[in-house]
Amino acid sequence: MNLKGRSFLTILRDVERGSISPDDVNEYYYRNALALNNTINAYITLIKPQQSSSDGPLRGIGIAVKDNISTRGIRTTCASRMLENYVPPYDATAVERLKNNGGSILGKTNMDEFAMGSSGENSAFGPTRNPINTDYVPGGSSSGSAAAVAAEMAPIALGSDTGGSIRAPASFTGTVGFKPSYGAVSRYGLIAYANSLEVIGVISKTVKDAELLFKMIAGRDLRDSTSFNVDLTSRDVGRPRILVLRSFVRMADERVQKVFYDSISKLERAGFIFDYLDEFREIDYVLSSYYTIACAEASTNLSRYDGIRYGPRLDVAGNWRSYIEAARGFFGSEVKARIMMGTFILSAGYYETYYLKALQIRKEIRAEFERIMKGYDAVYIPTMPVLPWKIGEGIRDPKMAYAADVLTVLPNLTGSPAISIPVGKSGEFFVGGQFIGLRGDDMKIISIASEAENALEVVRHE
């Protein structure tokens, strides 16, 4: 049996018709994962499928889950030696809802440690490799989820997005990456990096696949006070009015810009209406405010990994400071760097100068985004400013890796839904374009992206 190129929806329909069984589907993806994981390194933990007996809509089919999303009885490492042997006693709400719909867990996917990175290189278990060319990065931090879907090692996957961590790897691997509105999916069970920015979302082959899974995991959860009941009614936007932010597009290199503007020409022929805005007033502060807030929140969240509350128990002589320093040696260099930056930002004398100012700028960015969106259905910009780089280049040049987030952090600051789809190719690699909407307009953004996907036909799936 060969399911290559089959969308998740098509597979589910074939299972419902009886032409294939859920066990056949699980065996296909499990065998592919076993065969390819030594090369791609998409999974940290792979689970041998059990015989399916579910009659829920997902029919017992296995879904890949990023390894910072809690899974009861299955180790959840955050790609860190700090949590190498941690096995949660509970499921994240998103996982619980998938199980309630008949889903199962195919495995836990590799990632940048504690979701800190945009390349997939910063994992204690080794870098994830791009299935298109294994010398190159797949994007991060949801690197394993995107690589697994792209390499036919999973039919669909959950990821998380703090500053582009779903959309970046989707762009680099030619998959679809949907980041819901902040609060549209419960964060209960998502191991925290930066609470006010992150959200669980979906990486898939098609927009309709992402929509299916999103509807199952979305909605209010009493265990997450930031969650809300997002409107899940399907939307028909007719001829969508789209605003292109030229100041963001100019940050992309020439190869990305060419593919991006070519996609606009094709979408215009399909009935999309485009207008252009030359300047976004707060553009110079988008990346700096994001990193200030994210590192500050990371410093607070990761303080629990002290070898007493969480982390490895150590036999260390000396005082408690020696113990904690030894325990925190289990963090990788990128995580330690961001903790140090965050601790500095929150320290006496700098809290008002950096952190409070970044929060104020975020308010202004949100207000500016809401202002420019009046009369439009979505904003359209490239997902990543560059094509994938070779493995190791981002570690040697961290400034380059940080700058790669410049086009993806805006929706995290505004709480907006955003979806990346493949809009063309440059050489062997795909270029992603992202549609961004107002918070709560998730279904509108999905509808627009689905229309664009059909019009562009960059990747064809059955």
| Amino acid symbol at 217 | I
* C-alpha span between 174 and 422 (Å, rounded): 5
Percent of the chain scored above 70 by pLDDT? 97
Q: What is the pLDDT of residue 171?
A: 98
| Amino acid symbol at 130 | N
Residues carrying an active site annotation: 66, 141, 165
pLDDT tens, residue by residue, 245-287: 999 999 999 999 999 999 999 999 999 999 999 999 999 999 9
pLDDT tens, residue by residue, 84-123: 999 999 999 999 999 999 999 999 999 999 999 999 999 9
pLDDT tens, residue by residue, 433-450: 999 999 999 999 999 999
Q: What is the pLDDT of residue 420?
A: 98
pLDDT tier at 319 (50, 70, 90 boundaries)? low
Q: What is the pLDDT of residue 323?
A: 59
What's the rounded mean pLDDT across residues 118-131? 97
- Provide the mean pLDDT of the chain: 95
C-beta of residue 42 within 8 angstroms of C-beta of residue 128: yes
Q: What is the pLDDT of residue 401?
A: 85
Q: What is the pLDDT of residue 324?
A: 63
* C-alpha span between 393 and 3 (Å, rounded): 34
Would you give the distance in Å from CA 58 to the centre of its chain?
22
Whether residue 416 has a cis bond before it, omega within 30° of 0 = no
Which helix (H) or strand (E) element contains residue 419? strand 418-426
Backbone angle region of 41, left / alpha / beta, with phi > 0 → left and psi within -120 to 50 → alpha: left
Start-to-end CA span in the chain (Å): 15
What's the rounded mean pLDDT across residues 204-231? 98
Q: What is the DSSP string of 254-287?
A: HHHHHHHHHHHHHHHHTT-EEEEES--TTGGGHH
Whether residue 308 has pLDDT greater than 80: no
* C-alpha span between 65 and 420 (Å, rounded): 19
Q: What is the pLDDT of residue 52?
A: 77
Q: Supply 399's token pair.
A: 């400034």
Q: What is the pLDDT of residue 322?
A: 67
Residue 448 half-sphere exposure, CB side, CA atoms within 13 Å?
Answer: 31
Beta carbons within 8 Å of 5's beta carbon, 6+ residues apart: 205, 460, 461, 462
Q: Map out the domains of the chain with their CATH numbers.
A: 8-234 (3.90.1300.10), 283-361 (no CATH)
Q: What is the pLDDT of residue 429?
A: 98
Pick from 276-285, 315-324, 447-456: least confident: 315-324
pLDDT tier at 320 (50, 70, 90 boundaries)? low
Q: What is the pLDDT of residue 122?
A: 96
C-beta neighbour count of 126 within 10 angstroms: 13
* C-alpha span between 250 and 255 (Å, rounded): 11
Pick from 240-244, 375-379, 393-397, 435-439: least confident: 393-397
* C-alpha span between 224 and 319 (Å, rounded): 37
Q: What is the pTM of this model?
A: 0.96
What's the rounded mean pLDDT across residues 173-201? 98
C-beta of residue 80 within 8 angstroms of C-beta of residue 330: yes
Whether residue 326 has pLDDT greater than 80: no
pLDDT tens, residue by residue, 165-177: 999 999 999 999 9
* C-alpha span between 224 and 246 (Å, rounded): 37
Whether residue 244 has pLDDT greater than 70: yes
